[in-house]
Amino acid sequence: MLFHVMMTAYQGDPVAQKVVDVPDDEVSDDVYETLQRIFHYGNTVPDTVYCSVSCGDVAIIPTSEGEEHYLYRPYAIPRCLTADELTEYLATPRRERTSHAFYTDRSWQPTQSPE
């Protein structure tokens, strides 16, 4: 199955879309498993036009209602972006997008400060 990834981290502007081919038998009903396969094949299959899928890129997952956009983040599972969050993210200067991906969701941080 073919998936599109918005190459928002390192590819440059305007934002390009890389097509990543995931074997049909590896596409799962679990969206996060599929996102991992997209990341894997977006990094292991040689591509002469686009760089590899990285933290800060956005995977587009088709749904019955349209599509969802998932931001690849460091040290965490991809995060589904709302339309407003995607617009804000795309308005962020390219050089800041990877750090933006890191700081937009602080769920990895402790909920309480150390005593």
Surface-to-core class of residue 80, CB atoms within 10 Å of its CB (0-12 exposed, 13-18 middle, 19+ buried): middle
Which pLDDT does position 108 carry in this prediction? 41
Q: Using 50, 70 and 90 to split pLDDT, how confident is the model at 107? A: very low
pLDDT band, residue 25 (cuts 50/70/90): very high
Around Cβ 51, how many Cβ atoms within 10 Å? 16
Q: Which residues pair with 71 in a beta bridge?
A: 58, 79
Task: Give the integer Cα–Cα distance in Å for 78 and 86.
Answer: 13
Average pLDDT score over residue span 45-64: 86
Tokens linked to 101: 């991906």
Position 37 confidence tier, pLDDT thresholds 50, 70, 90: very high
Question: Which pLDDT score is estimated for 102?
Answer: 62
Given pLDDT bands bounded at 50, 70 and 90, which one contains residue 103? low
Say yes or no to pLDDT of 112 above 80.
Answer: no
How open is the CA angle 83-90-19, to the nearest 5 degrees?
85
Q: For the whole model, what pTM was predicted?
A: 0.82
* pLDDT at 71 exceeding the cut of 70: yes
